[in-house]
Structure 1
Amino acid sequence: MRSNFKGNESGPILKGVFMRASNPCTGICRLDEKTGWCLGCGRSRSELDHWRTKSEAWRQRIWKKIPQRLDELGVKCRRFPWTTEEIQNFVLSSLNNCQGTWVMGVVGAVAEFTVVGDAPKLAECTDGMITAFTQNGAIKMLINDDVRALNFDPPNELLRPHVVLAVKRDRGRLPITENVADLGEDVNPLILESAKRVFDLGLGRKEARFCVRVNEGESQKALTRCSGQSFDVALPKISLPLRYDSPTRVVETALGRIEVQGQIPTPNANSPIGPHTHLLPDHLLSERALPVGMELPRAYLPGAIFYPAM
């Protein structure tokens, strides 16, 4: 089913009326001994027990109390009271109105999707699958009932929030590849091109994988020679061919993928305007999935982070 939401109908990032209060649960179910509030969602035992049976107006009132409670508890991870459709609408609005940047990957290996110009070439939602295209890039996200919109900002910064889209761990992880690997032909590319063969660079991370889609050039030859080698061993042998050929970069998470084209800059150069990637071995050593201050409950895998435009 194609969504009838049009991104330009929404002004401020969080403008809109919630259709129905979703469940605030974040996957941490433990009561604070002093306050009696859940350390994950900020509800009391009584509120937890009666959440399904009470009225919608009652649930909305509890939702309004939760931010202050979590602030008192010192809990940073907060769930937005958005239904699945509202998450879809937020994403479409952010894309159509060029309100910020979507990032997928892990610390040290990310793809960034920013719309170039006044509007994307295409942004649509069909059966929960959001796709958007702009100069040198494309993004795809499957937003269904397994996706949660989370935030780690202080309550006074929620007018322009960072939004973390997290995916229930039960939805399934990406295949983990410990070494450079030839994955064969990319059967579901977003950007149609002659290059079809995909290589996983072998970061060995459960949260994301960093791939390149190549044609029969020097990059493919170098990657083929390095197949089976660890990323650290292969990097000195593949970095120059990859920078010279600048093949399409494909970063995937449990939520979807971002594809990036265009010249790969030299290490000390500024990042280009619009979609681009970062592959920084020193930052990968942190082994962090998300930046400092964003600690996901174990029930979720990171999907994407939205950074609002300044």
Structure 2
Amino acid sequence: MLNLEDVLANGLQHPEAGWNMGSFGAIAEFHHVGDEVPPQHSEPLTQVTARGGVRIERLEGVRPVAYETLSPRAHRWSQAVSLCLPEGDAMMHRRDVLTELGPDDEALRDDDRGAILFDMGLAQPQVDFCIRTNDKDLLAILRENAGRSLMEHGNPAMPAILKAHPHRVALTKIGRLEVFQMIGGPDTGGVSPEGPHTHVLPKLLRAGRTHSANTPIPEGWVPCAGFHPENPVFDRMGQDKDFNRKAFDAFQTLLQAWGPDDYLAAKANCWAALEKGQEPDGVAEPASRTGRAGLRNGLRQWRRLHADSALLDRWSVAFDASTMPDEAEDENPGH
């Protein structure tokens, strides 16, 4: 039986693993970059670099949900483990205005514990999305506009935040993730910096959802953090790489233990049919979104495991020729 703490501890030491905390519209992401010192053992379930850090503070009551999602690119798939809590236990403060919280005494680094934490007031269910600063000019503007929505037309606080690049801190019931790098925008050439970064997307925030519809979170549960083990077909910069069978097998172990039954069944049925040489004619497509993803990813993975074949091509034409836009997942999401 898998031990969740051991899995996460090993993941925190893996240079190709990634982490996130947030919601559908506001997310903070952490991963290592190539020029950094490899991950070092530190405090339990904690990893900090010069660019950001993550700490898992609670596992009691946490349900891991492992899953693979469809990529818009037909030769790929994404994978993750969501760390979930029951809905009532996962909820944070849902403040809807800029709010000063005081010194961040729980900051990952000692030097940051005197800086002032502000909830941005994004009103997200499972995360208090915050900024942290000791910049006097920024503090003055934030305090002048506390109690107002950052999305309010003409509020000077948001432009000041984008200019000053304060730390971003995502707080959940199971831990925190901090980003020390600049905010992606005009000062970074319009792209997020390599490594830890954040996304705040107002259009998605308005949906008021806790997660993407393509993430198979069980009813009544809410994802509070995401763990992304090494992907076997593309690297942390999103570039294709040679198939890594070791990384693939490692995630399949997690998937078998913590994955959705309908996904696992659809993929197993697909592989069994291909093993027997069965034609796709007359095979029914799974009824559920999760099952359809299992079938399609099963075809993509069979190709990596067993190479091309005319039979596999016929299955792909039948079931994976065109992925519906709402059933594929952005590989570099801001959700």
Normalising by the residue count of structure 2, what TM-score does the alignment of the two structures yield?
0.59
Q: Does 1:108 align with 2:25?
A: yes
Q: Does 1:141 align with 2:56?
A: yes
Provide the rounded CA distance (Å) in 1 between the counterparts of 2:87 and 2:41: 30
Q: Does 1:254 align with 2:148?
A: no
Q: Alpha-carbon deviations, 1:28-81, whole Å to 9, x = none?
A: xxxxxxxxxxxxxxxxxxxxxxxxxxxxxxxxxxxxxxxxxxxxxxxxxxxxxx
The match for 1:292 is 213
Q: Which amino acid aligns with 2:192?
A: S
Q: Which amino acid aligns with 2:222?
A: L
The match for 2:16 is 99
Equivalenced residues, count: 221
Task: State the 4+ residue runs in structure 1 displaced beyond 4 angstroms.
Answer: none
Q: CA deviation at 1:208?
A: 0.8
Could you tell me whether the CA contact under 8 Å between 1:115 and 1:135 is conserved in 2? no
More helix as a share of residues: 2
Paired-residue identity, %: 27
Q: Alpha-carbon deviations, 1:236-276, whole Å to 9, x = none?
A: 52222212221111011221110111222216622211111
Structure 2, unmatched stretches of 5+, are 70-76, 235-335
Query: SS where residue 185 of structure 2 aligns?
Result: coil
The match for 1:151 is 66
Provide the rounded CA distance (Å) in 1 between the counterparts of 2:79 and 2:198: 23
Query: SS where residue 220 of structure 1 aligns?
Result: helix
Structure 1, unmatched stretches of 5+, are 1-17, 19-81
The match for 1:88 is 5
Q: CA deviation at 1:228?
A: 1.0
Relative distance call for 1:236 and 1:292 in structure 2 (3 A) is farther
Could you tell me whether the CA contact under 8 Å between 1:218 and 1:245 is conserved in 2? no
Relative distance call for 1:213 and 1:225 in structure 2 (3 A) is same
Relative distance call for 1:236 and 1:229 in structure 2 (3 A) is closer
Could you tell me whether the CA contact under 8 Å between 1:184 and 1:199 is conserved in 2? yes
The match for 1:164 is 82
Relative distance call for 1:160 and 1:287 in structure 2 (3 A) is closer
Query: SS where residue 222 of structure 2 aligns?
Result: strand
Provide the rounded CA distance (Å) in 1 between the counterparts of 2:124 and 2:192: 24
Q: Does 1:228 align with 2:147?
A: yes
1:168-179 superposed matches below 5 A: 168-169=86-87, 171=89, 173-179=91-97
Root mean square deviation, CA, Å: 2.6
Provide the rounded CA distance (Å) in 2 between the counterparts of 1:292 and 1:169: 16
Q: Alpha-carbon deviations, 1:92-124, whole Å to 9, x = none?
A: 222212232111101221100102335224444
Relative distance call for 1:213 and 1:245 in structure 2 (3 A) is same
Q: Which moved more, 1:249-258 or 1:139-148?
A: 139-148
Q: CA deviation at 1:135?
A: 2.3
Could you tell me whether the CA contact under 8 Å between 2:125 and 2:210 is conserved in 1? no
Normalising by the residue count of structure 1, what TM-score does the alignment of the two structures yield?
0.64
1:201-240 superposed matches below 5 A: 201-233=120-152, 236-240=155-159
Query: SS where residue 152 of structure 2 aligns?
Result: helix
Q: Which structure has the higher relative contact order (CA within 8 Å, separation 6+)?
A: 2
Q: Alpha-carbon deviations, 1:172-212, whole Å to 9, x = none?
A: 53222121111111121112335521110111122111101
